[in-house]
Amino acid sequence: MENYLHYFGAALGAALAVIGAGLGIGRLASAALEGTARQPEMAGDIRTTMIIAAALIEGVTLFALVICILLALK
């Protein structure tokens, strides 16, 4: 089993990373939608900021994903 433990670690790591990203970007999207609903004329600015923040959060997730891929392909 020691030979295959790194597959388990990689899968667990990827799953946790995706949970973190999903929660984070979900909260971001909900805040953006609420802000747009309150002030529809700010929709463009809010959308731009939302995309930027989503890309940054996604970046952190993909750091973890790269480590998981390295582990799974060891």
Partner 1 sequence: MSETSHSSAGVDASDGHAAEALDAAAHHGGGHEESIGDTVLHHVTDGNTLELPFVGDVHLPEISIGGLDLSITRHVVMMWLASLILLLLFGFALRRRQQVPRGLANLLEMLVVFVRDELAIKNIGEAGRRFTPYLLTTFFFILTCNLLGLVPLMATATGNISVTAGLAGMAFVMIQWGGIREHGLVGYARSIVPHGVPIWLYPIMLPVEVVGMLVKPVALCLRLFANMLAGHFIIVSLICLIFVLKTIYVAPVSVGFAVFIYLLELLVAFIQAYIFTMLTSLFIGMTVHPH
Residues in contact with partner 1 by the rule CB under 8 A = 51-52, 55-56, 58-59, 62-63, 65-66, 69, 72-73
Q: Which is nearer to partner 1, 31 or 69 (by Cβ)? A: 69
Q: Which is nearer to partner 1, 37 or 72 (by Cβ)? A: 72
Q: Which is nearer to partner 1, 36 or 49 (by Cβ)? A: 49
Least distance in angstroms from the C-beta of 69 to partner 1: 7
Least distance in angstroms from the C-beta of 14 to partner 1: 11
- What's the CA gap between 72 and 5, in Å, rounded? 10
> What is the full DSSP assignment across 3-56?
GGHHHHHHHHHHHHHHHHHHHHHHHHHHHHHHHHHH-GGGHHHHHHHHHHHHHH
